[in-house]
Structure formats: structure tokens, C-alpha cells
């Protein structure tokens, strides 16, 4: 098994050749020092998804650990846990049917002006089989585009909409929804550049998600085939990883750089997770580059 020796404070074991790593040998609830959190942030900047194994968190300590990564982003959609404004419980009972929370490829809250920078999900009760989460790399999707497509996308602005978000979530059993701002969110349209650069690494990625409704100046019908094409590229197996949960796994993902989907394959079993989101940045347009540079990067 490959260990990434650039990180010395704990073990970092890549999950696939594209993205994601298991992290072992660190206990976060134990008031870990600031350097541990800085190193985890660097691992996340590099791998975009990390599954930190062997944690023992309560909702309260989960909240405290999350706060060490920055301020919370706020979650205007889901009803929080009582007493912990920024923590949501995702619960599925053995007899539940229909969709699971987070089913189908998406990015969390992509229609916010500052989409969450990190989503954190803690596995409290995990089924003996199934219930994995899959992730797809928007950085690798960028590199899979032709120079011509990159140039076209550099010139475009995506309009991301909150429309339908409450309906999708309402289709999931046991997920309490907020009502205070629902109408405004349903009408929200937020503009983001399509080709963006990571604020820490400068690496390019394509900022698309399932709520990108149209490109500015284009119709929805003109936009959809392009977005579907990019989503198809991103979610090809070689650009994905899959986290197999264990009780006590804390999975964190760099939300704007990946798409993720929950897998609905654990009917008859219970699954309980705690979830929160840490504040991110306004997505930053990548500086334009020549076609030659684009071709070299793709090689």
C-alpha cells in the first residue's frame, strides 16, 4: 500500500490515482495541536477528499473539531440538530425507502456566493455493507478537456440556481428542512466563473455542478449538453474515488473541487451521520492561458 511520505504527522494513504486519501494515526477530539489541523488542510488541498479513520466524536466534539478548520458556512436548507446550529443529522432507518440524502452527483450549496469550502461528515452508525460515498474530481475533468473547450469555458459564466433544492431534499425521509428563507433560495441565481483556480494551490478546475442552470447569454437548452458532457467526464471511474465507511470515520471533502454522491444500497440497515460545512471562498476565475500552455498541461 502506498504511503505519502510528504506528510509525517500521520499516515496518508491514497485511495485512487485521481483523488482521495485515508488518514490514520491521529485523534482529533483529543485537543490536537494547530499543526495537525494545518497539515490536514494541506492533505485536503492535495487530495480533495480525506477519510480520517478511528475517531470517537459526539455531535459536540464534531462541532468543536470542525470549528478548528474555520468558521461555519451556514446551511440555509437543512434543519440543524437541537442546540448545535451548524450540525445536521442524516439518518436512515432500516425500514426507510426512497432516496437517501445526497443521492445523485452534486456539490453542496453551489448556488451560494461562497459555496462551503469543506464539507465534513462523521460516521456514527454505519451499515455492515453499502452506504459508501463516491467523489469525482473537477480538477481532473478540467485536464480532460480539449484546449478549444477550455478556451470556450474560460469565456463563460455559470448561473447556479437554488430552484428545486427544497423539493429534492423533501423527497428524503427524516430530513428536516428550514422554512425561514426557502422562497428566496428557490429564486436565487448566483454567477460563478466556469474555469477557476484553487485559492491555495492555483490548480485549475471546472466549476460545474447539477445546479448550473445556464451559462450567461446562453439558453438552458444550449447549456445542458455542455454541462452534461463535463459531468460525464468528471464522473468517469478513473476520475473518482469511493469512501468505504467505518464507524468513527470522519470524511472531509474540499467541496468546490469535487462532486459527490451517496450510494443508495443499504436498505434494511441503519446509517446515521453528522454533517457540517465550513466557509469557503468566492470561486476565483483562473487567469487566461495560451492554447500551447493548455496543450502542455493536458499532455
Q: What are the angstrom distances between the C-alpha of 216 and each of 60, 79, 114, 289?
A: 43, 32, 19, 22
How far apart (Å, rounded) are the C-alpha atoms in residues 87 and 59?
Answer: 7
78 binds ligand SIN per the rule CB under 6 A: no
Other CB atoms within 10 A of residue 67 CB: 13
101 binds ligand SIN per the rule CB under 6 A: yes
165 binds ligand SIN per the rule CB under 6 A: no
274 binds ligand SIN per the rule CB under 6 A: no
Which of 44, 50, 102, 276 is the binder for ligand SIN (CB under 6 A)?
Answer: 102
How far apart (Å, rounded) are the C-alpha atoms in residues 238 and 135?
Answer: 11
- Looking at the Cβ atoms of 195 and 262, the one nearer to ligand SIN is 262
Name the residue with the smallest CB distance to ligand SIN: 102
The contact pattern for ligand SIN, residues 32-71, with x = CB under 6 A and - = no contact, is ----------------------------------------
90 binds ligand SIN per the rule CB under 6 A: yes
How many residues interact with ligand SIN (rule CB under 6 A)? 10
Q: Are 240 and 16 in contact (CB under 8 A)?
A: yes
115 binds ligand SIN per the rule CB under 6 A: no
All 3 cell numbers of residue 270? 441503519
Q: What are the angstrom distances between the C-alpha of 181 and each of 136, 178, 188?
A: 30, 7, 11
Q: Are 211 and 58 in contact (CB under 8 A)?
A: no
277 binds ligand SIN per the rule CB under 6 A: no
Q: Which residue is it, cell 450567461?
A: 216
What count of Cα atoms within 13 Å lies in the side-chain half-sphere of residue 207?
34
- Looking at the Cβ atoms of 55 and 273, the one nearer to ligand SIN is 273
Smallest distance from ligand SIN to CB 254, Å: 14
136 binds ligand SIN per the rule CB under 6 A: no
Which of 75, 133, 172, 209 is the binder for ligand SIN (CB under 6 A)?
Answer: 133
How far apart (Å, rounded) are the C-alpha atoms in residues 54 and 15?
Answer: 17
- Looking at the Cβ atoms of 188 and 259, the one nearer to ligand SIN is 259
209 binds ligand SIN per the rule CB under 6 A: no
The C-alpha R_g of the chain, in whole angstroms, comes to 19
Smallest distance from ligand SIN to CB 148, Å: 33
- Looking at the Cβ atoms of 65 and 195, the one nearer to ligand SIN is 65
Closest CA to 72 of 43, 107, 109: 109
- Looking at the Cβ atoms of 73 and 273, the one nearer to ligand SIN is 273
Beta bridge partners of 119: 253, 277
Binding footprint of ligand SIN on the chain (CB under 6 A): 90, 101-102, 119, 121, 133, 260, 262, 273, 275
Amino acid at each position: 500500500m502506498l504511503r505519502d511520505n510528504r506528510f509525517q504527522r500521520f499516515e496518508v494513504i491514497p485511495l485512487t490515482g485521481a483523488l482521495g486519501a485515508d488518514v490514520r494515526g491521529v485523534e482529533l477530539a483529543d485537543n490536537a495541536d494547530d499543526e495537525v489541523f494545518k497539515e490536514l488542510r494541506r492533505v485536503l488541498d492535495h487530495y480533495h477528499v480525506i477519510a480520517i479513520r478511528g475517531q470517537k466524536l459526539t455531535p459536540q466534539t464534531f462541532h468543536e473539531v470542525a470549528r478548528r478548520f474555520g468558521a461555519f458556512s451556514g446551511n440555509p436548507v437543512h434543519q440543524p440538530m437541537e442546540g448545535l446550529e451548524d450540525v445536521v443529522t442524516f439518518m436512515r432507518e432500516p425500514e426507510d425507502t426512497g432516496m437517501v440524502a445526497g443521492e445523485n452527483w452534486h456539490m453542496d450549496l453551489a448556488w451560494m456566493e461562497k459555496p462551503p469550502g469543506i464539507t465534513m461528515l462523521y460516521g456514527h452508525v454505519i451499515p455492515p455493507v453499502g452506504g459508501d460515498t463516491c467523489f469525482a474530481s473537477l480538477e481532473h475533468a478540467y485536464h480532460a478537456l480539449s484546449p478549444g473547450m477550455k478556451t470556450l469555458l474560460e469565456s463563460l459564466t455559470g448561473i447556479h440556481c437554488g430552484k428545486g433544492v427544497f423539493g429534492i431534499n423533501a423527497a428524503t425521509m427524516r430530513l428536516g428542512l428550514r422554512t425561514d428563507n426557502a422562497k428566496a433560495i428557490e429564486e436565487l441565481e448566483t454567477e460563478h466563473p466556469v474555469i477557476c483556480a484553487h485559492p491555495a494551490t492555483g490548480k485549475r478546475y471546472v466549476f460545474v455542478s447539477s445546479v448550473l442552470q445556464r451559462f450567461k447569454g446562453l439558453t438552458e437548452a444550449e447549456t445542458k449538453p455542455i454541462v452534461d458532457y463535463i459531468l460525464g467526464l468528471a464522473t468517469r471511474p478513473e476520475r473518482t474515488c469511493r469512501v468505504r465507511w467505518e464507524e468513527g470515520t470522519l470524511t472531509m471533502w474540499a467541496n468546490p473541487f469535487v462532486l459527490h454522491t451517496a450510494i443508495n444500497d443499504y436498505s434494511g440497515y441503519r446509517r446515521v451521520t453528522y454533517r457540517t460545512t465550513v466557509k469557503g471562498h468566492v470561486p476565483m476565475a483562473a487567469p487566461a492561458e495560451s492554447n500551447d500552455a493548455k496543450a502542455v498541461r493536458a499532455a
